[in-house]
A and B are shown apart, each in its own frame.
Chain A
Amino acid sequence: MAEDILVLANEFAEVHVSKVLTHNGVRLRIRDPKSDREVLLCPLELESLTWQDSELFTSLLATPHGPEDS
């Protein structure tokens, strides 16, 4: 079964979001088609996001193109 992909975009970014069934459970895949990076989040991780405020993401965006190796 093809996964249903949800595309979320604004003028700054585009991500593809989908539900991924693992052998024994489920994860949420967030993929950035431009860099080909992705993250698979389990329900517990997603729950933890609900108690974050926007400052968490602000700090993640301190390196606007992702991690810098230096």
Chain B
Amino acid sequence: MVNLAELTRDIRSGMVPAYVYNDADLFTLERDHLFARSWVFLAHESEIPSPGDYVVRRIVDDSFIVVRDEQGVVRVLFNMCLHRGMQLCRAELGNSSHFRCPYHGWSYKNDGRLIGLPFHGDAYGGDRGLVKKEQRLLPAPAVDSYRGLVFASLDPDVVPLRDYLGDFTFYLDFYLNQSPDGIELRGPQRWRIKSNWKIGAENFCGDSYHTPQTHTSVVEVGLFAEPKANKRKEGALYFAGRGGGTTYKLPPGTFEEKLRYVGYPDEMITRMRQNWTPEQQRVVAEDGFMVSAATAFPNLSFVHNWPQINADGLIRPFISLRQWQPVSESETEVLSWYAVDANAPDYYKEESYKAYLMCFGSSGMFEQDDVENWVSITSTAKGAMARRLLLNSRMGLGLDDDVISQKPPSFSGPGRAYVGYGEHNQRSWLSLWSQHLGYSGDPAEHSPVPAGDAAGEGDR
């Protein structure tokens, strides 16, 4: 059995028990505590724009229909027939005004109401045995959205989504709020990897250190120049509220020049100017940082890169959303979406989509590089020796827990930021993770969080 007090203590000190990346008991705790209480991303509203559009998504084992009903209301319904429990929608996506169960034919309107069943009179004596209009598909206990991202929680008493995300929304808006109409999604591509789900989530929230090593070939083939070690280490790592991420340092220039450098056309830059707060603009223009990878706790990640997409040196940025959907302690279903400003011109959408496909998604070079590592960590973490090993995740801290990392000369965003390599973000993410496993003691008594990791952590 997992010793949560010890685990929490180790995690807080930056020494991560290797077994956490492949342990069945921990997976049960994650499912029953963490995923049962957090806000979990399900879909973006642009995936279900018309009445009747639906997608089927999961929170670990629970399948949900995310549907826009005939009145235009987005509903999240437990995908299980009220009669004998058949999964009602089995296609991943579709459009229907009603759902008819394949087993005995109970039928539901797409707002969840039971509206028909075969032989109501003969089988149930009509309303004497079963009052149809009192029956509806079980709704998700809590549903909330942020800029079109629809989240659900299995905990009816969960804090509102905005409070949960906290100041991380400041950074989310670089991806989600480039124009008043927000983003639209394409996809997802969906595939399974033999990796623990936490490794991707941690990697995206702060691992700029792996880029020059793991992604060397991306630079060598001329796809993307920024991952070079000297470039990558100038970026800032931030953590705020329930999320953190990495950035790249941009060459000197105005707001417009910096966004042109990463490949945005002027009309999109104009809208960003109008849409982003002065502080958000200062992060780009004055502090000189451009968001790259990020993770919203627990398992939704973002990426924004700007590769070269043709032999003439054309650079186009892309945004991808990705979800690390746990299947078991050693398997993860990856959902990868392409995202783009809904107001972007068509030529841009096409070129940016190409940029995405070259880097991420099942054909992407970054994706292939990363997954090889994660699968290997997972399989190595399974055995007896891994139970004796604490992984060193202390980068950025001195031996006395003093902070070695430097603060950026100026940084206009909320939360905590350091420049250069460091594992402050992974430690913050793992601290949040360990807090969600149901340990009722106060870990701070035994092990205060190193001061350098404190900001941006904890309950918000």
Question: Taking beta carbons and an 8 Å cutoff, which residues of A are in contact with B?
Answer: 10-13, 53-54, 57-59, 61-65, 68, 70
Contact: B98 with A57, CB < 8 Å? yes
Known: A10-B94, A10-B95. A61 touches B116 (CB 8 A): yes
Contact: B89 with A57, CB < 8 Å? no
Cβ of B97 within 8 Å of any chain A Cβ, yes or no, is yes
Q: How far is the CA of A59 from the CA of B132 in the complex (A)?
A: 12
Contact: B122 with A12, CB < 8 Å? no
Q: How far is the CA of A70 from the CA of B120 in the complex (A)?
A: 11
Contact: B96 with A58, CB < 8 Å? no
Q: B122: which A residues are within 8 A, CB to CB? A: 68, 70
Contact: A64 with B107, CB < 8 Å? yes
Contact: B105 with A65, CB < 8 Å? yes
Contact: A58 with B109, CB < 8 Å? yes
- Which of B94, B95, B116, B121 has the most CB atoms of chain A within a 10 A radius of its CB? B116
Q: A62: which B residues are within 8 A, CB to CB? A: 107, 115-116, 120, 132
Q: A70: which B residues are within 8 A, CB to CB? A: 119, 121-122
Q: How far is the CA of A54 from the CA of B358 in the complex (A)?
A: 44
Selected from B70, B94, B118, B120, the residue in CB contact (under 8 A) with A11 is B94
Per CB-CB distance, the 7 closest pairs between chain A and chain B, nearest first, are A11-B91, A62-B116, A64-B105, A64-B107, A54-B70, A12-B100, A10-B94
Cβ of B4 within 8 Å of any chain A Cβ, yes or no, is no
Q: How far is the CA of A68 from the CA of B96 in the complex (A)?
A: 23
Q: A63: which B residues are within 8 A, CB to CB? A: 116, 118, 120
Question: Taking beta carbons and an 8 Å cutoff, which residues of B are in contact with A?
Answer: 70, 89-91, 94-100, 105-107, 109, 115-122, 132
Query: What is the CB-to-nearest-CB distance from A25 to chain B, in angstroms, rounded to a whole number?
Result: 29
A-B contact pairs, 12 of them (CB 8 A): A10-B96, A12-B96, A12-B98, A12-B100, A13-B100, A54-B70, A54-B109, A58-B97, A62-B107, A63-B118, A64-B100, A64-B117
Nearest A residue to B109, CB-CB: A58
Q: B120: which A residues are within 8 A, CB to CB? A: 62-63
Q: B90: which A residues are within 8 A, CB to CB? A: 11
Nearest A residue to B51, CB-CB: A54
Q: B106: which A residues are within 8 A, CB to CB? A: 64
Query: What is the CB-to-nearest-CB distance from B108 to chain A, in angstroms, rounded to a whole number?
Result: 9
Nearest B residue to A63, CB-CB: B116
Q: How far is the CA of A65 from the CA of B119 in the complex (A)?
A: 9
Q: How far is the CA of A70 from the CA of B118 in the complex (A)?
A: 12
Nearest B residue to A66, CB-CB: B118
- Which of A58, A63, A70 has the most CB atoms of chain B within a 10 A radius of its CB? A58
Contact: B118 with A64, CB < 8 Å? yes
Q: How far is the CA of A10 from the CA of B115 in the complex (A)?
A: 19
Query: What is the CB-to-nearest-CB distance from B164 to chain A, in angstroms, rounded to a whole number?
Result: 34
Query: What is the CB-to-nearest-CB distance from A3 to chain B, in angstroms, rounded to a whole number?
Result: 25
Q: How far is the CA of A53 from the CA of B71 in the complex (A)?
A: 10
Q: B121: which A residues are within 8 A, CB to CB? A: 68, 70
Contact: A65 with B118, CB < 8 Å? yes
Nearest A residue to B115, CB-CB: A58
Known: A65-B118, A70-B122. A57 touches B97 (CB 8 A): yes
Q: A59: which B residues are within 8 A, CB to CB? A: 115
Extra contacts, 4 of them, besides A10-B91, A57-B98 (Cβ < 8 A), are: A11-B94, A61-B100, A61-B116, A64-B107
Q: How far is the CA of A54 from the CA of B50 in the complex (A)?
A: 14
